[in-house]
Amino acid sequence: MLKFYENTVLRQYAIVIIVNLSVLSTGLGLAWPSPVLVKIADKDQTILPRPVTAEEGSWIVSIGFLTGIVANLFIGGVLIDRMGRKPCLILVSLPKLVAGFIFIYANEVWMLLLGRALIGVADAGIFTLLPMYASEIASKEIRGSLGTILQIMCSFGVVTMLSMGPFISYKMLNIIFTGFIIFTTIPLFMLPDGPYSLYSRGHKTEAVKVLTFLRGSESLANEELKEYEMASETNNTKTSKRDIFTNRLFLKSLTLVLILGFGAQFVGFNAVTFYLQTVLESTQTSVRPEIASVTIGLIQLFASFCTTAVTDRFGRKPILTITCVGMGLGMLGLGTFFKLKEGGEVTGFLNYVPLISLILVVYCYSAGIGSLIWVINAELFDDRSRGVGMSIAMVAGTLFVFLTTKYFAIVSYVIGPATTYWIFSVNCILLCVFIMFCIPETKGKSFSEIQDILRGDKKKKEDNSDC
């Protein structure tokens, strides 16, 4: 095991930052279509026999969502609890590495589709596994800030791709992309497995060693191990998947996570990024698309840093409720602008309303639900059901992303952009109300304490009531 700093908090930060390096390449992959589609649709830049069609381009963008759904069912249902967190993370990184080499040598559309399909498989596993791993590594006092590092790394990857992609050749771009994948996969071999993952697979001695390293003393490690044992006794240690799905507490946690995931996608963030250039053109700015994309990426990155700095100080719920209101105001502003534009040209200060609204929506989403949903999803499940629960949540979230990106344009055309954005604004407020009254505050609480809150144990001091 690596000899990190003597300070146990720094040890935990170091491990979680290193494991989250793999999300750096995920962010690169998420933004990869933005510069690449421009290149392969241009007859002078394409590496294919002919420029891609709009239909082919849409499949290159979206096919990963479909393969991700299938991959999550397999990863969550079979691999996570049998292999452990670390081996699974290494395993799911391999399809991404294969995809990188396919992209370098691609000369047919099917090769690009295959590469994107493999990327979808890898990213589905990474977004499922990393929050679980980070939540097991982190002590309860800093679990929130460590959980948000995922969003920071992802945003940094997006900014990096958008900054270099438009200005270098297709082949050089994918050589760099593949290099990032190799660079971020190698450190995974040097990290410990998750302590609960070790314990649940019968490696109690190794689990104690890892916990001692993370917490700083064997007494603290044994104290946390007792929580594992108590949770196992409460939940009848030897549990089948069928038993998990008939457990009322698991079903309650799953319902909360699924509603939260639904709300996170239907507040319209993807719609805003989809309409980015339309908004900029409507304001008659001279901002180039490449510069606008990088600016949005930088705002996301800055917001993620802000959340990491304050989430364990102020708690999850205050941050989520405030940012949901902020997104609601941003969507209201965008809807109002498009409504006014229907009546003619918009001039004066009102011309800046969509830009202000756009920044507000992007910042609030990235500082709120975009960062914290990974933390909360991992916290709401107990140890034995976290693998199954996170996989289902990821499958549902991927499906929601696919639906919003596939059908937003159609809905906006039918009912108009103004009404669409106003609906998103209402959704933001509904999500805010749901968080206020249904999601428990998990700041500073152990997993067993969170389960007690969900169970309705009145003996526990709660910051907020649950549904």
Within this chain, do residues 223 and 346 fall inside the same structural domain, yes or no? no
Min mean pLDDT across 165-169, 394-398, 437-441 is at: 394-398
Residue 283: its pLDDT value, please? 59
What average pLDDT does range 416-425 have in this prediction? Answer: 90
Band the pLDDT of 331: cuts 50, 70, 90.
very high
Residue 287, domain member (yes or no): yes
**Which of 131-145, 272-286, 295-309, 323-337 holds the top average pLDDT?**
323-337
- The larger pLDDT score, comparing residue 359 to residue 349, is at 359
Residue 466: its pLDDT value, please? 46
Asked whether residue 433 carries a pLDDT value surpassing 90, the answer given is yes
178-230 pLDDT tens trace: 999 999 999 999 888 888 878 878 888 888 888 888 888 888 888 878 777 77
Residue 115: its pLDDT value, please? 94
What average pLDDT does range 361-371 have in this prediction? Answer: 89
Q: How far apart are CA 64 and CA 73, in angstroms?
A: 14
Residue 464: its pLDDT value, please? 47
Q: How far apart are CA 413 and CA 269, in angstroms?
A: 18
What radius of gyration do the chain's Cα atoms show? 22
Within this chain, do residues 326 and 363 fall inside the same structural domain, yes or no? yes
Q: How many domains does the chain have?
A: 3
- The larger pLDDT score, comparing residue 236 to residue 152, is at 152
Within this chain, do residues 374 and 259 fall inside the same structural domain, yes or no? yes
The CATH number that applies at residue 143 is: 1.20.1250.20
Residue 463, domain member (yes or no): no
- The larger pLDDT score, comparing residue 254 to residue 456, is at 254
Asked whether residue 247 carries a pLDDT value surpassing 50, the answer given is yes
Asked whether residue 335 carries a pLDDT value surpassing 70, the answer given is yes
What average pLDDT does range 106-115 have in this prediction? Answer: 92
Residue 466, domain member (yes or no): no
What average pLDDT does range 372-386 have in this prediction? Answer: 82
The gap from C-alpha 34 to its chain's centroid, in whole angstroms, comes to 19
- Expressed as residue numbers, the domain containing 317 is 243-457
Within this chain, do residues 43 and 114 fall inside the same structural domain, yes or no? yes
Within this chain, do residues 290 and 428 fall inside the same structural domain, yes or no? yes
Residue 34, domain member (yes or no): yes
Q: How far apart are CA 249 and CA 385, in angstroms?
A: 10
* Mean per-residue pLDDT over the chain, rounded: 82
Residue 332: its pLDDT value, please? 94
- Give whole-number Cα distances, 72 to 22, 239, 396, 465, in Å: 17, 21, 10, 32
Q: How far apart are CA 192 and CA 194, in angstroms?
A: 7
Within this chain, do residues 272 and 153 fall inside the same structural domain, yes or no? no
Residue 286: its pLDDT value, please? 60
Residue 274, domain member (yes or no): yes
What average pLDDT does range 306-311 have in this prediction? Answer: 80
Asked whether residue 402 carries a pLDDT value surpassing 80, the answer given is no
Residue 4: its pLDDT value, please? 43
- The larger pLDDT score, comparing residue 297 to residue 459, is at 297
Sign of the dihedral through C-alpha 319, 325, 326, 327: positive
Within this chain, do residues 140 and 48 fall inside the same structural domain, yes or no? yes
Residue 408: its pLDDT value, please? 72
Q: What is the pTM (predicted TM-score) of this model?
A: 0.76
Of the chain, the percentage scoring pLDDT greater than 90 comes to 19
What average pLDDT does range 363-372 have in this prediction? Answer: 89
Min mean pLDDT across 274-288, 309-323, 379-393 is at: 274-288
Within this chain, do residues 178 and 250 fall inside the same structural domain, yes or no? no
Within this chain, do residues 164 and 258 fall inside the same structural domain, yes or no? no
Asked whether residue 337 carries a pLDDT value surpassing 70, the answer given is yes
What average pLDDT does range 143-155 have in this prediction? Answer: 82
Residue 462, domain member (yes or no): no
Residue 462: its pLDDT value, please? 44
Within this chain, do residues 148 and 67 fall inside the same structural domain, yes or no? yes
Residue 271, domain member (yes or no): yes
- The larger pLDDT score, comparing residue 440 to residue 77, is at 440
What average pLDDT does range 229-253 have in this prediction? Answer: 70
Last residue of a domain, one of 234, 261, 296: 234
CB under 8 Å to 60, separation ≥6 — which residues?
Answer: 33, 37, 52, 109, 112, 113, 116
Residue 465, domain member (yes or no): no
Within this chain, do residues 173 and 289 fall inside the same structural domain, yes or no? no
Q: Indicate the SS3 state at residue 248.
A: helix
- Give whole-number Cα distances, 274 to 171, 271, 304, 414, in Å: 26, 5, 21, 17
Asked whether residue 175 carries a pLDDT value surpassing 70, the answer given is yes
Band the pLDDT of 274: cuts 50, 70, 90.
low
What average pLDDT does range 452-458 have in this prediction? Answer: 77
Within this chain, do residues 338 and 262 fall inside the same structural domain, yes or no? yes
